[in-house]
Amino acid sequence: MKTILIGFILCLCSASVSTSQTYEARAFWVVRDGLISEESISEMVNRIAQTHCNMIFVQVCGRGDAYYQSDILPRAEQLSLLGEEFDPLQSVIEQAHGRGLQVHAWINVYFVWSAPEQPQSKKHIFHQHPDWIAYTSEGRSLLTYERPHPLGMEGVFLSPGHPDVQEWIPNVIGEIVSRYDIDGIHLDYVRYPNGETDFNPATRILFKERYAVDPIQLFRERDALEKDLGVEGVAALDSLWYQWRCQNVTQTVGRIRRRIETLKPKVMLSAAVKPDYDLAVKQFGQDWQAWMHDGLLDFIVVMAYSPVTELVLEQIGMACQLVQGGYLLAGVGVYNQDVIATIQQIRGIRSLDVSGVSLFSYNSIVDDEEYFQSLKESSFRQEATVPRLTARSE
């Protein structure tokens, strides 16, 4: 059956393979569950290398914890039964570099907790700084809602506008950059959880000092505001609020960039971003077009995870128009579609101005050897070299 499937895929997708195509980024996102032992890391690195991929986005900070040696974050609870000397990130780097794979440390920036129970370590930001947590338009901290999905959100987020948060995050990333021989830092959840956060008291004070209005009034006292300021006046405040949210996230990205350049300028900085740019800006404060235009990032990975190929190609095509210069990877979902659909998407993506693809996620197909083999025999038949992914001079 396996031989028949691979043969069918080769016939279906033979047009997608070019003998001259040698420069292409081929990455997997590897969720932290794949880093819990030397054996799991070895298996992951070998399988990805054998599939003719050349990059790994390896999740080393998923919930405000560390899958590396850190003085800032608590050690991940998944590693509690292993010795303190076990360093997942260092193990990945040594093994992956030995197989010619780039290693990008994947960081969940603002997303810090989701489990129903509290973190065990008192060192966790959950316990250390509850005042840094984002608030909803109800005026409540996300800590006060039922987890794992408070109000349908992924979990507990930090407040992007809190001055201490904006200083703390670059410190976390700076520690990784200074201690490890990584090729890049990859930012995820570098955004608000939705359009009705963040109303952390510190953020509200800063906004009110600048614009003379408590932003929570835009949600809770809108009718009264419209009587005082008029519909157009409130609409102008809405615009200022969305700009404020974007500026907060952008400021953090800028601080991360400057920290990396101070420590190791050759380390690349990328981000996983929402595919719909207008929605990313308005709902999530994620102005990735500006980040690229202003040189804050080296490249982006657009999370076009739909199983509908036409939508994926539309989203990636629009992103290419917004990010001129080609420093873009297409994020493709493998968790929600069969390998034939994934191969078809990769084939279509290659006709666009992208530098490669990243598949989400390794963990979702870790037990499906046929999936990896089919990818190799169709989309990744030849080995490829990672193209230049930054416009910066070195």
pLDDT, tens only, 286-315:
999 999 999 999 999 999 999 999 999 999
Both structure tokens of 54: 């050349």
Give strand ranges (E) for the chain: 25-30, 55-61, 102-108, 111-113, 156-157, 184-188, 268-273, 299-304, 328-333, 356-360
Both structure tokens of 172: 């976390």
pTM equals 0.94
pLDDT band at 391 (very low <50, low <70, confident <90, very high): confident
336 part of a folded domain: yes
pLDDT band at 22 (very low <50, low <70, confident <90, very high): confident
Number of domains in the chain: 1
12 part of a folded domain: no
Q: How far apart are CA 160 and CA 203, in angstroms?
A: 9
| Per-residue model confidence (pLDDT) at position 3 | 45
296 part of a folded domain: yes
Kindly report which listed range (5-19, 46-60, 266-280) carries the lowest average pLDDT score. Answer: 5-19
What is the domain-level CATH number for residue 323?
A: 3.20.20.80
Query: Do residues 203 and 110 lie in contact, with contact meaning Cβ atoms separated by under 8 Å?
Result: no
Domain residues for the domain of 99 are 25-193+249-378
Question: 194-235: per-residue pLDDT in tens?
Answer: 999 999 999 999 999 999 999 999 999 999 999 999 999 999
Q: How far apart are CA 114 and CA 117, in angstroms?
A: 8
Question: 45-79: per-residue pLDDT in tens?
Answer: 999 999 999 999 999 999 999 999 999 999 999 99
219 part of a folded domain: no
